[in-house]
Amino acid sequence: MSEVRINKFLASCGAASRREADKLVEEGRVTINGEIATTGSKVSEGDTVALNGKVIKPADDKVVLAYYKPVGVTVTEKDPHATKTIASEIKYPVRVTYAGRLDKDSEGLLLLTNDGDLIDAVMRGANMHDKEYIVKTDKKLDESFAVKMRSGIYLKELKATTRQCQVELLGPYTFSIILTQGLNRQIRRMCEALGYKVKSLKRIRVMNIKLNNLKPGEYRELVEEEKRELYRLAGLHE
Main-chain phi, psi angles of 225, to 5 degrees: -65, -45
Catalytic hit among 22, 47, 79, 103: 103
Mark whether 89 and 139 lie in a shared domain.
Answer: no
- Cβ atoms of residues 238 and 228 within 8 Å: yes
State the total domains in the chain.
3
| pLDDT tens per residue across span 107-153 | 999 999 988 889 888 888 778 899 999 999 999 999 999 999 999 99
Distance CA 175, CA 155 (A): 20
| pLDDT tens per residue across span 30-84 | 999 999 999 989 999 889 999 999 998 876 688 999 999 999 999 886 677 778 8
Residue 166 lies in a domain: yes
| Sequence-ordered list of residues with C-beta below 8 angstroms from that of 10, at least 6 positions apart, any chain | 16, 18, 21, 24, 25, 30, 49, 51, 56, 116
Residue 238 lies in a domain: no
178-194 per-residue burial string, b: 16 or more CB within 10 A, e: under 16: ebbebbebbbbbbbebe
pTM over 0.85? The answer is: no
Residue 164 lies in a domain: yes
Beta strand 160-161 with 54-55 is unpaired
Mark whether 187 and 152 lie in a shared domain.
Answer: yes
Task: Confirm whether 103 is a catalytic residue.
Answer: yes
Mean pLDDT over 205-228 rounds to 95
What is the CATH classification number for the domain harbouring 86? 3.30.70.580
Mark whether 92 and 146 lie in a shared domain.
Answer: no
Residue 88 lies in a domain: yes
Domain with 184, as residue range(s), is 130-206
What is the CATH classification number for the domain harbouring 47? 3.10.290.10
